[in-house]
Amino acid sequence: MTATWLRGLLARQYGRLLAAVCGIALSVALLASLGVFLAASKSTMTSRAASSVLVDWQVKVARDADPLAVLDTVVGTAGIRVARTVRFAQTTGLSAVTAGSTQTTGPGVVLGIPANYASAFPGEIRPLTGAGSGVLIAQQTAANLHVAPGDTITIGRAGLPAAHLVIQGVVDLPQADSLFQRVGAPAASQPAAPPDNVVLVPPGTFADLFSQLAAARPDLVTTQVHVGRNQQLPPDPAQSYISVVGAAHNLEAALSGAGVVGNNLAAALDGARKDASYAQILFLFLGFPGAVLAGVLTAAVASAGRARRRREQALMRTRGATLRKMMLLSSAEAAVLGLVGGFLGLLLARLVGSWAFGTSSFGASRGDALVWTATALVVGFTVAVVSIVVPAVSDFRQMTVASARISVRRESSPRWMRWGVDLVLLAVSGLVFWQTSRGDYTLVLAPEGVAAISVNYWAFLGPGLLWIGSGLLAWRLALTFLRYGRSPLTWLVRPLTGRLASTAAAGMSRQRGLVARSVVLVGLALSFAFSTAVFNQTYRHQAEVDARLTNGADIAVTESPGVVVGPEAGSAIASISGVRQVEPLLHRFAYVGADLQDLFGVHPGTVSRATSLQDAYFQGGTAAQLMGVLAAHPDAILVSDETVKDFQLSPGDLLNLRLQDSRTKQFTTVPFHYAGIAKEFPTAPHDSFFVANADYVAKATGSGAVGTFLVDTGGANIPGVTAQIRQALGTSASVTNILTTRKAVGSSLTSVDLTGLTRVELGFALLLAAGAGGLVLALGIAERRRSFAIVTVLGAGRRQMFGLVLSEAAVVSALGLVGGLVGGWLLSQMLVKVLTGVFDPPPEGLSTPTGYLLWTLAITFAAIFGAALITGRAASRAAVEQLREL
Amino acid sequence: MSAKAIDEDGLDSALVRLESVARTYGTGQSAVVAVRDATGSVPARARLAVTGPSGSGKSTLLQLMSGLDRPTVGTVSWPALAHRHLTPTRSIAMVFQGPSLIPALNVEENVALPLVLAGQTDRDAHAAARSALALVDLTDLSDKLPEELSGGQSQRVAVARVLASRPRLILADEPTGHLDAVRGAHVIDVLLAAADQLQAALVISTHDPAVADRMTSRWRMSEGSIRTAQETVRL
């Protein structure tokens, strides 16, 4: 009998079954696609973090230990690709005589680097000029000493006579921070900056120079074993972190105190695992509502056939069908739909994954993949069971045969509406939102060095409840409007229905449950599309702002330390073709009390020509207002929020800073007046800094030396202009552009490339919106084809029939649009606020992708009206067939 | 009144005329001939019963007469109602065996619907609907939804809807099929009274002899054909 029942369904109700299968496939595909996204992004984060580290471990050899024995132990450890011994010696200072003048530096470091180091750790030492091996000098040191390959430098040695070496090449040390780290020391006691003065020599030269020193002052000469690993890392950064930390501990245990591991790889993975948590949260916030919506849509599709199912059930009951039999039949139907929909969904997800994320794996590991596949399939089955079996059983238990035959009954308010569940949910959502977003709210907390990550999942309740609450409220409002607003409804549909307006309005009012359901689904789908699109656009916009903030402008020319260039040097850069504007930015260090902070000097009237200043960067006025204050009052200064709190500042307060006078090299007190707060500023660090008037700073310090030239190219040919500037300036300045910075800031969360997720989500949102509108309306109309057949028999012309159908489509579209836009706007506001941690800097406002939204609306309405026209035509054509059932 | 007799008497005053009409559903081996070679006409103010067992083609014949369905072969025309071969939907009304009221409209709106579709204003249509409901003694039910009516009441509302549109030909397809004898008889009373009042012809398909006996003429159908030559019933 079950087989007969299924065959009958396939033969007679293939349209509804197909729609339900599509809905289930959509839910499963969305969930599984998000699994693919997570897998892809986690694995990207791990590989990006791992590849960003050139020397995975720096094993510091204990003072009394034998470096060779340590090297042997390291090499004998599993998962080691390469290991090289590097020696470090402190020098008292470097000097050089060039063009008749002697340049001298402060203390520095001399490294003993083996010849094959560069090939073992490619990128760690980047040759700039001269030879790539032999005696090499760091670029900044070369600039300080004014030396080039072929010049001789003098190396000071504590307690020993100075040594002389001929420079063979100038190099850059891109990862100087980790190279010169204090291995084994906590983060707080790490040096603030790598040494300015660095010379690299071959091991033989190093031994000649420092053997005596090592014997006399072992504290000044140390040895490290630099390690490159080749162990396959788990794709999940959190697991990789645990694995790498464990391996390092294992090595330390094997060394028995002979060495301490500086774990650069773990440090990089530590950041990545935090990003991975954010990625997971993004999935929850952005993807889960879509999967739920697809499930609700499927349930709606299935319930669109409920009236028919009730009649069939009534017929079967009169023939003696029991509850068990009914359950068996509906379960068989649900199982087939769940299975087919589930597998189609997984197939779709694989295709989507390959297209959007470049992978079709459902999880970062095999276990993850299994969990995701199983979860997606279980969701598919659950949707099928909830949509088909539950209503069938509930109808069987609650309804009589006679009542099951009735298709329209006087509708009373649903129980949730009488209890005000929607209002309660919205109130709780507001409360949770207020609670989570006040004070020092952190969504993800990943304490450095601690394996556990804490995520504030409580914060999810705000948007989650808002989504459900606003959906239910939209339902309440739609029901109320359809029930009591018959006059405006009649007015609304009159252009389409003419004299049939009041009849159409009466019909919709009495079947308001059906109409309201379509309205809510369209509203929820549009709100999902709206909030997702706005969030993604805002995210992308802020990633761009972040890159611009970090680099300062399209191109930033940062003068090397020791190189003094005045603002007039900007004209040389401005003459390069492709450069539109050049803006000098002064950079000094200033003491406020005992704190040393960066100070940026700007020309308030022109600074925004080369860089963008957002109002969100400042507090106490807009960007333009505060620049106006700096122009009008040259001694005005913008300070960080922290400084305001620490020094209890009020607007207008005197703030004495100590700045170095270029003439006397002494720190002198310069008076400023506090004018506002700068939270962010182009090229400025994340922590505290000052922004002041450049002319005032130059006058007070006796120097107009520029730290950075911000160069605007109008976004055109950035790489070409960068190359030209590099060529013109040589090694006297470092030239960076926004394109490389964009990739560099990509090591943080922006590395979770949302492009794929955006594509998938926006695609699904579009499908859901079109599906919610078209499919539900079409099935609703199809369910009432008997009524349309009667109307045809009673003499309705084609135009009148279409008028009736289109009027319902118009009401669903209009109410759904209002609900979707209001709900989407609220949700976007809350999402951006709750996910503040994702944005750096926080957005000034929401960015709205108007084009996408207009397309979504157009396609949704096209689906609604297309479905209305097709089903309307089918309903009037099938009148004679329907007549046979009358 | 037989098919032939109607031919002879009807002339141009016939409300509907069937000439060698056949209706086949489907094609090929699965084709089903519902009506074959049916010829006859219905004059003004006729009281005609179309009888025959289930599946004999009664409903199809009525649908062809109403213009809702088209014959596969032959011609259906309404000489006294409209231009030849054009369906005079406004002058013909039909009562069905099963529930034929729109579930989402109340009784008065259901009755007014054909008039609104025909272009009358809401006010006029509802006034006519109330009058029609009064004639079938259902004024009290005007606010009720179809789900709140009994089977007999639903059929009387369907008759009121016919009355309101003032047709010249009423076709009733097994109007008592779902009703018990008492309620069925009441519905026939109402239909006959309505036809009398409108001076309309009434064609009822039925397999209930008691209903057929209340008509003045009868077509007996078997396997899609009109078998009876002439059978006039005296009331």
**Alpha carbon distance A772, A851 (integer Å):** 21
Residue A705 has a pLDDT of 84
- Does residue B94 belong to the interface with chain A, where contact is any CB pair within 8 Å? yes
Chain B contact probe: residue of A490, A792, A794 with most B CBs at under 10 A? A794
Q: What is the DSSP letter of A647?
A: T
A320: region left, alpha or beta (phi > 0 left; psi from -120 to 50 alpha)? left
Which chain B residue lies closest to A508 (C-alpha atoms)? B104
Nearest to A607 by CA among A557, A662, A553: A553
Nearest to A772 by CA among A654, A638, A864: A864
Nearest to A288 by CA among A375, A384, A367: A375
Mean pLDDT of chain A: 82
Answer yes or no: do A500 and B117 touch at CB < 8 A. Answer: yes
Whether residue A69 has pLDDT greater than 80: yes
Whether residue A748 has pLDDT greater than 50: no
Q: Is A710 a domain residue? A: yes
Residue A886 has a pLDDT of 54
Residue B235 has a pLDDT of 37
Query: Judged by CB atoms within 8 Å, which residues 370-429 of A form the interface with B?
Result: 406-410
More confident residue, A192 or A549: A549
Contact status, residue A175 vs residue A115, Cβ threshold 8 Å: no
Q: What percentage of residues in chain A have a pLDDT greater than 70?
A: 88
Would you report the helix, strand and coil content of chain B in percent, each value rounded to 5? 40, 25, 35
Contact status, residue B6 vs residue B226, Cβ threshold 8 Å: no
pLDDT, one tens digit per residue, over A372-428 is 788 878 888 888 888 788 877 777 776 655 554 555 555 667 788 888 999 999 999
More confident residue, A592 or A55: A55
- Does residue B39 belong to the interface with chain A, where contact is any CB pair within 8 Å? no
Whether residue B232 has pLDDT greater than 50: no
Taking CB atoms and an 8 Å cutoff, what residues of chain B touch A408? 103-104, 145-147
Least-confidence region, from A623-632, A689-698, A794-803, B142-151? A794-803
Rg (CA), chain B: 17
Whether residue A289 has pLDDT greater than 70: yes
Whether residue B194 has pLDDT greater than 90: no
More confident residue, A93 or B88: A93
Answer yes or no: do B105 and A793 touch at CB < 8 A. Answer: no
Rounded to a whole number of angstroms, the distance from the CA of A399 to the nearest CA of chain B is 14
Q: Is A603 a domain residue? A: yes
What average pLDDT does this structure show over A460-471?
A: 85
Residue written as token pair 């020509």: A609
Rounded to a whole number of angstroms, the distance from the CA of B3 to the nearest CA of chain A is 25
Rounded to a whole number of angstroms, the distance from the CA of B19 to the nearest CA of chain A is 21
Among the candidates A236, A251, A272, a domain finishes at A272
Smallest Cβ–Cβ distance between B117 and the set A409, A410, A794 belongs to A794
- Does residue B121 belong to the interface with chain A, where contact is any CB pair within 8 Å? yes
Whether residue A745 has pLDDT greater than 60: no
Which chain B residue lies closest to A796 (C-alpha atoms)? B117
Smallest Cβ–Cβ distance between A507 and the set B63, B99, B104 belongs to B104
Smallest Cβ–Cβ distance between A503 and the set B94, B109, B146 belongs to B109
More confident residue, A358 or A703: A703
Whether residue B197 has pLDDT greater than 90: no
Nearest to A269 by CA among A543, A38, A48: A48
Residue A534 has a pLDDT of 86
pLDDT, one tens digit per residue, over A773-823 is 787 777 777 777 778 888 888 888 888 888 888 888 888 888 999 999 998
Answer yes or no: do B63 and A883 touch at CB < 8 A. Answer: yes
pLDDT, one tens digit per residue, over B30-72 is 788 889 888 888 988 899 999 988 888 898 999 899 888 889 9
Smallest Cβ–Cβ distance between A408 and the set B119, B120, B147 belongs to B147
**Secondary structure in 3-state letters for A382-420:** HHHHHHHHHHHHHHHHHCCHHHHCCCCCCCCCCHHHHCC
Q: Residue B204: which pLDDT band, with cuts at 50, 70 and 90?
A: very high
Taking CB atoms and an 8 Å cutoff, what residues of chain B touch A791? 102, 113, 117
Count of pairs with CB atoms under 8 A, one residue in A, one in B: 79
The total number of residues shown for chain A amounts to 886
pLDDT, one tens digit per residue, over B86-103 is 556 678 888 888 778 998
pLDDT, one tens digit per residue, over A327-350 is 888 888 888 888 888 889 888 888
**Alpha carbon distance A812, A478 (integer Å):** 9
Q: Residue A106: which pLDDT band, with cuts at 50, 70 and 90?
A: confident
Considering its fold, how many domains does chain A have in total?
A: 2
- Does residue A875 belong to the interface with chain B, where contact is any CB pair within 8 Å? no
Residues A851, A857, A861, CA angle at the centre, nearest 5°?
Answer: 150
Residue B5 has a pLDDT of 39
What average pLDDT does this structure show over B193-212?
A: 89
What average pLDDT does this structure show over A593-621?
A: 84
Burial A795-816 (b: 16+ CB within 10 A, else e): bbeeebbbbbbbbbbbbbbebb
What average pLDDT does this structure show over B161-180?
A: 86
Residue A744 has a pLDDT of 58
Answer yes or no: do B96 and A880 touch at CB < 8 A. Answer: no
Which two structure tokens, joined as six digits, stand for B62? 């009525």
Q: Is A68 a domain residue? A: yes
Domain range for A728? 552-745
Residue A224 has a pLDDT of 94
pLDDT, one tens digit per residue, over A839-882 is 666 677 788 888 888 988 888 888 888 888 887 777 666 666 66
Taking CB atoms and an 8 Å cutoff, what residues of chain B touch A499? 116, 119-122
Taking CB atoms and an 8 Å cutoff, what residues of chain B touch A314? none
Answer yes or no: do B100 and A880 touch at CB < 8 A. Answer: no
Residue A727 has a pLDDT of 81
Q: What percentage of residues in chain B have a pLDDT greater than 90?
A: 25
What average pLDDT does this structure show over A238-257?
A: 91
- Decide: helix, strand or coil at residue A761: helix
Q: Is A600 a domain residue? A: yes
Rounded to a whole number of angstroms, the distance from the CA of A506 to the nearest CA of chain B is 7
Helix A306-318 crosses helix A323-356 at what angle (to 10 degrees)?
A: 150
Taking CB atoms and an 8 Å cutoff, what residues of chain A touch B106? 506
Among the candidates A719, A745, A771, a domain finishes at A745
Rounded to the nearest 10 degrees, how much is the dihedral formed by the CA atoms of A447, A452, A458, A464? 110
Answer yes or no: do B106 and A506 touch at CB < 8 A. Answer: yes
Q: Is A885 a domain residue? A: no
Nearest to A711 by CA among A570, A549, A545, A582: A582
Contact status, residue A181 vs residue A190, Cβ threshold 8 Å: yes
Rounded to a whole number of angstroms, the distance from the CA of A869 to the nearest CA of chain B is 19
Domains of chain B, with CATH numbers?
Answer: 44-66+87-226 (3.40.50.300)
Where are the extended beta strands (E) located within A396-483? 444-445, 454-455
Which chain B residue lies closest to A788 (C-alpha atoms)? B102
Burial A240-255 (b: 16+ CB within 10 A, else e): bbbbbbebbeebbeeb
Q: Is A862 a domain residue? A: no
State the ipTM, two decimals: 0.85
Q: What is the DSSP letter of A103?
A: E
Mean pLDDT of chain B: 83
Helical ranges in B89-136 per DSSP H = 107-117, 122-135
List, in order, residues 6 or more apart from A34 with CB less than 8 Å away: A283, A287, A288, A291, A757, A760
Residue A96 main-chain phi, psi, to 5 deg: -155, 150
Q: What is the DSSP letter of B90?
A: G
Which chain B residue lies closest to A885 (C-alpha atoms)? B98
Answer yes or no: do B102 and A790 touch at CB < 8 A. Answer: yes
User: What is the identity of the amino acid at A719?
Assistant: P
Among the candidates A244, A272, A300, a domain finishes at A272
- Does residue A315 belong to the interface with chain B, where contact is any CB pair within 8 Å? no
Residue A409 has a pLDDT of 57
Contact status, residue A579 vs residue A713, Cβ threshold 8 Å: yes
Would you report the helix, strand and coil content of chain A in percent, each value rounded to 5? 60, 15, 25
Residue A1 has a pLDDT of 67
- Does residue B206 belong to the interface with chain A, where contact is any CB pair within 8 Å? no
List, in order, residues 6 or more apart from A336 with CB less than 8 Å away: A6
Smallest Cβ–Cβ distance between A794 and the set B106, B113, B146 belongs to B113
Taking CB atoms and an 8 Å cutoff, what residues of chain B touch A511? 104
pLDDT, one tens digit per residue, over A505-550 is 998 898 888 888 888 888 888 888 888 888 888 877 777 777 788 7
Contact status, residue B185 vs residue B210, Cβ threshold 8 Å: yes
Contact status, residue A175 vs residue A54, Cβ threshold 8 Å: yes
Least-confidence region, from A18-32, A147-161, B157-171? A18-32
Whether residue B81 has pLDDT greater than 90: no
What average pLDDT does this structure show over A231-252?
A: 88
Which two structure tokens, joined as six digits, stand for B123? 């006010």
